[in-house]
Structure 1
Amino acid sequence: MKVLATAGHVDHGKSTLIRALTGMEPDRWAEERRRGMTIDLGFAWTDVGGDTLAFVDVPGHERFVTQMLAGVGPVPATMFVVAADAGWMPQSGEHLDALHALGVHDGVLVVTRSDLMEPELARDEALEHLAESTLGRLPAVCVSGTTGAGLDDLRAELTALAGRLPDPDPTADVRLWVDRAFTIRGAGTVVTGTLGAGRITVGDELELGGRTVAVRGLQSLGAAVGTATGVARVAVNLRGVPLEEVSRGDTLRTPGRWLDAGIVDVRVHPPRGAEVVGRLPAQVMVHVGSAAVAARVRPLSREDAPDAAPGARTVRLTLREPLPLRPGDRALLRDPGAHAVLGGVTVLDVRPPELRRRGAARARAGELAVSDGTPDTAVELSRRRVLRAADLAGLGLADPPSGTPSAAGWYVDPEHLGNLAARLVELVAEHAAADPLEPGLPTRAAQRGLDLPEQRLVALVLARCPDLVEEGGRIRRAGDGGLPAAVREAVGTVLADLADAPFAAPEANRLAELGLGGRQLGAVVKAGELLRVADGIYLRPDAPDRAVEVLATLEQPFTVSAARQALGTTRRVAVPLLELLGRTGRTRPEGDGHAVRQLPSDRS
């Protein structure tokens, strides 16, 4: 199926023409038929040259421009209608502005009511206007819906147009913009829209407004179907969804494959007839698909410094309601107060960085100048440096090549990972210089210093740093124990003193003489080089096990005095050491003395 949107001024015969082509009534509501104008979107279809061609008949009256945009947004081509007896009119221009802003490039011009007046003047005038837009020089056909004159020629042009339109990807992620929602007795809520790509099947689960919904039934071209593949006009019957929970502008989409964007960076293209984008108001309406959302505008590039596209500008839009967008999407900006199209936009980034520093907006404009909005995994990873794996799908991207650095659900650009490794070495050195007694840089501080979104990514960076090790949640240079050289030398002296007398803890004056004050000793203990038995009592880390081996040779139970003599130490050391052995379960109280519970070599 191929889908076209009609366009043109009110009462120029669009609906009459569609009836003549299809034999169907596009004006679905009694009010529309009574007033003779299309208020809401109407649909009809016919076969041309082996293709089914569906028409979205959009309203022409100025009051209903938002409905018109809802119909034009999701479709790739147009049948532009101008009446021979009226010629080019205001809403003709407004419809053309919308088509130009949305980047519609193909279609056919139809001059209706050719039986009432010679059509050449209206045709030539319309062709001049169309040539100023993205539509360019369209083929033109003069017809009469009343007499049928020219309809065969029009069908031939429509057949050629259908053949020119590209075939969409049937495996693409579904994003169906809802343009109508209603209830049917016995069926429940039904939504309609143009399925631009992908496939919907009865029984599928889709996302709607943040919840999962089931497809109860499916119709296309008025008939029930099991599967609909884009491009197609579809009506989807949703199971268990109240009508009040769905409205125009909502989307049915493949679960987990779209990002709701509240802030987007876009390139604004000049409106039809203008060479540059003028000054934009602070508030605009953004029309994309069938949605119309208010947005706040923040310019990025200056008016006198257009970026990549001639006359274009980059701006940041803060949407009042998030929308499921991807880079490359087209939308238009409209000034609702002035009833004017301000220009079309190409979405460049749906997860833009914050602009915190002076000059950040201009720098951001420079980054976006080289982007055409086409999503590319390598480009996005290089630009973002760190990218969540789950966001790849939302951006419409494929997974990076095998071997791309990844951890904890994130991908890291290989070049950026090398820069992070160099920076981590600097951070560890800076931390050691600022506080030599700290046994390494805390891993969480490393995460902050590297500006990483997830702490587990630090291990990915650390793997690129052969001279660094991580122990106990801290990162230090390998081989230095996390202690400055002077402290390591002093500790070596203490350990040498303890080699011959392992339980003769050095006195306070000896520690002071070696430069081991309270902070230094705290760092040494934290590094595991010495064991703090009690205030002022420091022994080798293996002192408890060695003490148990000695005490096990005594008659059990033994006294503090016997222990002191066997260990070759003083009561100052023996008492707190026995208390430590008791707290750690190596000894137990027995009568007025102590007894060894278990030798270290006997433990399983």
Structure 2
Amino acid sequence: MDNNIIVGTAGHIDHGKTTLIKALTGEDTDRLLEEKERGISIELGFTHLQNEETESLNLNLGIVDVPGHQKFVNKMLAAAGGIDLTLIVVAADEGVMPQTKEHLSILELMGAEKAIIVISKKDLVDNEWLELVKLDILDQFENTFAGNAEMITVSAVTGEGIAKLKTKIIKLASNTKVSLNSEIPYYPIDRVFSLKGQGTVVTGTLFKGELFEGQELQLYPSAKKIKIKSMESHQKKLKKVRSGSRVGINLNYPDKNEIKRGDVISTADSLISTNFLEAKLKVLNSINFKIKNGDRIHFHTGTTEVMGTINLYGKQVAFPGDEIFIKIKLDHKISPYYRQKFVIRRFSPIDTIGGGEILEIDPPPRRKINSEKLIAHLNLLEEVDLKTALELFIKNMTGSAAELIQLKKKTALKTEKILELLSDLKEENKIFELKNDSSFIHTDNFKSIEKDIKEIVNDYHQQNRLKVGITREEIRSRLNFDLTKKELDKVLGILTTEQVLQEKDSLIAASNFSVQLTEKEKKQKQFILDKINNNYFSPPTRKELLAEDEELEAVINYLEHNSELVRLDQELYFDKDIFLKLQNLLRKYFRENESIELAEFRDLINSSRRYALVLLEKCDQLQFTLRRGDLRYPGKDL
């Protein structure tokens, strides 16, 4: 398996970064005419380092050369997130300069871990001066990620130290951990152009996952569909590339003007496009200004740069060296992933403020949450492992269940990996699954829903003492938590299994609830039943019963819900045994007669046409009778 490592340069303008890369690889990474005329790098430059040793180690070393001018720090930032090993270049004749420091700060904020300090232009100074430069570097790089980095002195003009530097680069690169491929592909674009006969080509570093020739993907944040026609890395055509690769992709997308630096290629429905982020900001010690709520900023992550505004949580002002949680509102949508590194710079003058990790992508509204609780939540997200972070994302969904697709977008993990982590959380009783592998709720939120449902049911019982229970849909309409019908069914199923609730005839009731009639209501019940049964096939209508006593309505409804009365239309109620009696009457009648018409049925039950018609139509539905024209014949269920 190939190991794909990106080596990037850093350092002040005119300290020899591009010349150094040419000495290492034989390639001039300054491709623009303006760069050659001015003698400075303006855009990112790309090449690779390859020799017999890298081939024997299956090591692919991509090289990214960054501009050193302060004006082009944004270009350096577009490369910094994908660098695995940094060559911090310091010219021997000038020593550490402002952009050396800023580049070093940016790399540290972006999570850089490995570096080689390259002291260039050795041929321009004597040994005594060289030793002073080394001491200055040690002093200024102390307590940074490059504090213990090896220093190698070189001259790109004479070639001194170049072979030693190559050996060191290969050694460090071969020991660099390859990114895991449990994540979705994440490919930030840093360059877009067209090639005659090929069409649109993009270049970038594959931060995460894998890409395949022919793969159908999505462009973010626009959500446009794209497809990979072909891929090339280090001048080789490839069918598949893995994380850490520097790769050019030929897309079957006709208009290159619709793609720009900062756009991201990934699988469909795998990233959130948003203007809002929450993050931990580490303010640089070196700045000489303070940060205020509402400050305008330049926000950098991946290869994107976008303007925005920051809000500080728990403070109105942040000072040099502070670490603080912030909310970022961006002018345009971006599509980052959880714990992606970022850097922010001041709006004007453009100085680097600090950076950190993105913790919440598209966070929910925070109007009702106090700052202490919010800070505690973000602090947890910063410290926990992926499984616990997944649990927190589910727990943070306080208004609805967490959908699998949302969790995929929040974590930038493959579906299989998320389901594996979710399975662990279920076994640990941290979450409930409401729909198979697609909808989940945290145990704490489930308990809150249980409490709300019990209150809804008990309130219903108090308002409707003589009703057996409440419908599922009414429970759903009263809940503050947004559940689909299937999700609510699952919740109610769990609560009935645990005997918190009971279900009868699709109605939900408290487990200890039963209808209890008062003495007065018992008398009303008997009065109604007597009235119905004394006029068995011609009972009084609902309206007629209520005309005698308006308070009978609740008891009538109770008798209906309790199946002691059968209701056939808005007004007519019959005894519960009405159909058994009708069945017996019809059986006896059809023993002697082939068919029956409405008038004959009316006479059979000794009732009026109104009652006879309703009852006979019900007999048709029950298939006691079979209608042909105006006649009825014995039905199959008689």
TM-score relative to the length of structure 2: 0.82
Shift of residue 234, structure 1, vs aligned partner: 0.6
Cα–Cα, structure 1 residues 16 and 267, in superposed 2: closer, same or farther, change >3 Å?
same
| Per-residue Cα deviation, 1:14-50 (whole angstroms, up to 9, x for no partner) | 1011111111111112221111111111012214753
Which moves more between the two structures, 442-451 or 107-116? 442-451
Q: Does residue 70 of structure 1 match 2:100?
A: no
Q: Does residue 476 of structure 1 match 2:496?
A: no
Q: Residue 432 of structure 2 aligns to which amino acid in structure 1?
A: P
Counterpart secondary structure, 1:372: helix
Shift of residue 539, structure 1, vs aligned partner: 1.9
- CA distance in structure 1 between the aligned counterparts of 2:364 and 2:147, rounded to whole angstroms: 37
Q: Residues 353-372 of structure 1 correspond to what in structure 2 (within 5 A)?
A: 353-357=364-368, 359-372=369-382
Shift of residue 216, structure 1, vs aligned partner: 1.2
Residues 328, 374 of structure 1: 8 Å contact kept: no
What is the RMSD computed on CA atoms of the aligned residues? 3.6
- Show the counterpart of 1:457: 487
Alignment partner of 1:387 out of 402, 419, 427: 402
Percent identical residues: 23
Cα–Cα, structure 1 residues 25 and 438, in superposed 2: closer, same or farther, change >3 Å?
farther
Q: Residue 39 of structure 1 aligns to which amino acid in structure 2?
A: I
- Show the counterpart of 1:578: 612
Counterpart secondary structure, 1:334: strand
Gap regions ≥5 residues in structure 1: none
Q: Residue 54 of structure 1 aligns to which amino acid in structure 2?
A: G
Shift of residue 464, structure 1, vs aligned partner: 2.2
Cα–Cα, structure 1 residues 491 and 321, in superposed 2: closer, same or farther, change >3 Å?
farther
Cα–Cα, structure 1 residues 525 and 12, in superposed 2: closer, same or farther, change >3 Å?
same
Count of residue correspondences: 590
Shift of residue 461, structure 1, vs aligned partner: 1.3
Which moves more between the two structures, 240-249 or 381-390? 381-390
Q: Residues 44-443 of structure 1 correspond to what in structure 2 (within 5 A)?
A: 44-47=47-50, 49-50=53-54, 51-117=59-125, 118-170=129-181, 172-209=183-220, 210-273=223-286, 278-279=291-292, 281-302=294-315, 311-357=322-368, 359-372=369-382, 376-381=386-391, 384-385=394-395, 386-394=401-409, 395=411, 396=413, 398-399=418-419, 400-401=422-423, 405-408=432-435, 409-414=438-443, 416-436=445-465, 440-443=469-472
Alignment partner of 2:585 out of 520, 531, 550: 550
Q: Residue 12 of structure 1 aligns to which amino acid in structure 2?
A: H
Cα–Cα, structure 1 residues 82 and 534, in superposed 2: closer, same or farther, change >3 Å?
closer
Q: Does residue 539 of structure 1 match 2:582?
A: no
Gap regions ≥5 residues in structure 2: 396-400
Cα–Cα, structure 1 residues 565 and 171, in superposed 2: closer, same or farther, change >3 Å?
closer
- CA distance in structure 2 between the aligned counterparts of 1:352 and 1:441, rounded to whole angstroms: 35
Which moves more between the two structures, 397-406 or 6-15? 397-406
Counterpart secondary structure, 2:381: coil
Residues 301, 361 of structure 1: 8 Å contact kept: yes
Q: Residue 24 of structure 2 aligns to which amino acid in structure 1?
A: L
Residues 6, 14 of structure 1: 8 Å contact kept: yes
Shift of residue 273, structure 1, vs aligned partner: 3.7
| Per-residue Cα deviation, 1:501-556 (whole angstroms, up to 9, x for no partner) | 63352587866777644466456546755344567543235536644653675677
Shift of residue 469, structure 1, vs aligned partner: 4.4
Which moves more between the two structures, 176-185 or 418-427? 418-427
- Show the counterpart of 1:8: 11
Counterpart secondary structure, 1:426: helix
Cα–Cα, structure 1 residues 56 and 484, in superposed 2: closer, same or farther, change >3 Å?
farther
- Show the counterpart of 1:494: 528
Q: Residue 411 of structure 1 aligns to which amino acid in structure 2?
A: F
Counterpart secondary structure, 1:6: strand
Shift of residue 276, structure 1, vs aligned partner: 12
- CA distance in structure 2 between the aligned counterparts of 1:492 and 1:33, rounded to whole angstroms: 105
Counterpart secondary structure, 1:343: strand
Residues 248, 290 of structure 1: 8 Å contact kept: yes
- CA distance in structure 1 between the aligned counterparts of 2:473 and 2:297, rounded to whole angstroms: 42
Counterpart secondary structure, 2:117: strand
Shift of residue 135, structure 1, vs aligned partner: 3.4
Residues 4, 75 of structure 1: 8 Å contact kept: yes
- CA distance in structure 1 between the aligned counterparts of 2:15 and 2:434, rounded to whole angstroms: 61
| Per-residue Cα deviation, 1:210-245 (whole angstroms, up to 9, x for no partner) | 133221111111222222222111111112332112
Q: Residue 494 of structure 2 aligns to which amino acid in structure 1?
A: R
TM-score relative to the length of structure 1: 0.86
